[in-house]
Amino acid sequence: MILQVLKDWISGSNKLERVWLLAKIEFKLRYYENKLGLLWALLKPISDIFIFYIAFEIVLKQGIPNFVSFLFLALILWNFFVESTTGTIQILNSKKYLYEYTNMNKIEIYLSTILSNCIGFTFNFILFLLYFQLIDSGTLGLSVQALWIIPIFFNLVIFALGFSMILSNIYVLAKDISQVWMVITGIGFWLSPILFKLEIFRQALPGLDYLNPIAGLIINARNTVLYQKNPEWDLFVFNWAYAAFFLLLGFFLLNRVGKNAAEKL
């Protein structure tokens, strides 16, 4: 089903170019209308790191080596997922004019928003690499294993796209999903190994790294980028299975619920 949808969509003349153009416009609208512009995309993870560093390294003294790099990488992955899903919950309503009055496919609207967030993630990831490689002393540095971050991030993008479609179609039926999702992501943050040593996380919450896909993505991202290791393959497979399942579910809901979204919203 997914392959047929993608084949039909890509067969159009300029759809990829249109998605890229929409993504650039959305990114510019988000940041360039503010006086500090793109700096806001960088200030968010930096301010979070500053707060959590004081709480968990200075006050609680967890003693995690290279804690800033450890936290920085996890935060930008987590923030990408939250911004991508939260920002698309009302997309079928806020961008109704695009699919109702033009020939745009709804998939293009989702892809352009996710792609816009990918641009923001790229800036943050470059900042992280500069800090990790050039400033953070005592790290192992980058190795060829760091290239695994590409399929790991692509896995996260597919996961976020699937969830975006699911949440936005639930919004058509129940507007409360916006508030519910805020609660779920708030809980999910503390049920992911963002702030804690992996050994402590697994000891306190055994098996949760398999139930929480974001946990697996963060663990494998750290293994490959920070510690010059290969991914944990069982988690890697689980994460792709989760992404495929939620993407299929998202397409199913978009075909069943989303096709009548304009009338219901």
Taking only the tens place, the pLDDT of each residue in 16-42 is 888 888 888 888 777 766 666 667 767
End-to-end CA distance of the chain: give it in Å, rounded: 26
Q: Write the DSSP string, 84-153.
A: HHHTTTTHHHHTHHHHHHSS--HHHHHHHHHHHHHHHHHHHHHHHHHIIIIISTT-----GGGGGHHHHH
Higher-confidence residue of 238 and 95: namely: 238
The pLDDT score that the predictor gives to residue 10 is: 57
Q: Which of 10-24, 41-55, 111-125, 227-241 shows the lowest per-residue confidence on average (mean pLDDT)?
A: 10-24
Farthest-apart Cα atoms in the chain, separation: 58
- Tens of pLDDT, residue by residue over 51-96, are 988 888 888 888 889 999 999 999 999 999 999 999 888 888 888 8
Whether the predicted pLDDT of 12 surpasses 90: no
| Alpha-carbon dihedral 136, 138, 139, 141, rounded to 10 degrees | 90
For residue 198 the two structure tokens come to: 């992996």
Whether the predicted pLDDT of 139 surpasses 90: no
The pLDDT score that the predictor gives to residue 215 is: 94
**How far is the C-alpha of 123 from the C-alpha of 221, rounded, in Å?**
17
Q: Write the DSSP string, 227-242.
A: S-----HHHHHHHHHH
Please give the mean pLDDT across all residues of the chain.
87
Higher-confidence residue of 263 and 163: namely: 163
For residue 230 the two structure tokens come to: 């290969």
- Tens of pLDDT, residue by residue over 187-218, are 999 999 999 889 999 999 998 989 999 999 99
**DSSP count for the chain of H helices, then E strands:** 14, 0
143: confidence class by pLDDT, cuts 50, 70, 90 = very high
Whether the predicted pLDDT of 114 surpasses 60: yes
Burial (CB count within 10 angstroms: exposed 0-12, middle 13-18, buried 19+), residue 199:
exposed
The one-letter code for the residue type at 9 is W
13: confidence class by pLDDT, cuts 50, 70, 90 = low
The pLDDT score that the predictor gives to residue 35 is: 63
Q: What's the mean pLDDT in 221-245? A: 96
Query: Which whole-number Å values give the CA distances from 153 to 11, 47, 227, in the listed order?
Result: 26, 23, 17
The pLDDT score that the predictor gives to residue 105 is: 82
The pLDDT score that the predictor gives to residue 194 is: 93
Question: Does the global pTM surpass 0.85?
Answer: yes
